[in-house]
Amino acid sequence: MFDSFQISALKNLLVPQNKIVIITHYNPDGDAIGSSLGLKHFLKQKGLEADVIVPNDFPKFLKWMPEAKQVIIADYKRKIAGEAIYNADVIFILDFNASHRSGNLVGPWIEKARAKKILIDHHQQPDNFDFVYSDVTIPATSQMVYHFIEALGEEELVNKEIADCLYTGIMTDTGGFRFRSTSATTHRITAKLIENGADPAQITSSTWDTNTVSRLHLLALILGRIEVVKDGKVAILWLKRDELKQYGFQKGDTEGFVNYGLSIMGTQVSAFFMEDLYEDFVKISFRSKDYVDVNQFSRNHFDGGGHINAAGGKYMKSIEETIEDFKVKIEGEEF
pLDDT confidence of residue 306: 86
Query: Taking residues 42-63, what's their average pLDDT?
Result: 96
**Number of C-beta neighbours around residue 322 at 10 A:** 23
CA distances (Å), origin 117, targets 8, 50, 94, 108, 150: 15, 14, 10, 14, 20
pLDDT confidence of residue 178: 85
Under 8 Å between Cβ of 131 and 2: yes
Whether the model clears a pTM of 0.85, i.e. scores above it, the answer is yes
pLDDT confidence of residue 124: 83
Domains contained in the chain, CATH given:
4-208 (3.90.1640.10), 213-331 (3.10.310.30)
pLDDT exceeds 90 at position 305: no
Query: Taking residues 294-305, what's their average pLDDT?
Result: 94
Query: Taking residues 141-151, what's their average pLDDT?
Result: 98
Query: Taking residues 216-239, what's their average pLDDT?
Result: 97
Query: Taking residues 272-298, what's their average pLDDT?
Result: 94
Mean pLDDT across the chain? 95
pLDDT exceeds 90 at position 125: no
Q: What is the pLDDT of residues 168-179, one digit of tens each?
A: 999 999 989 988
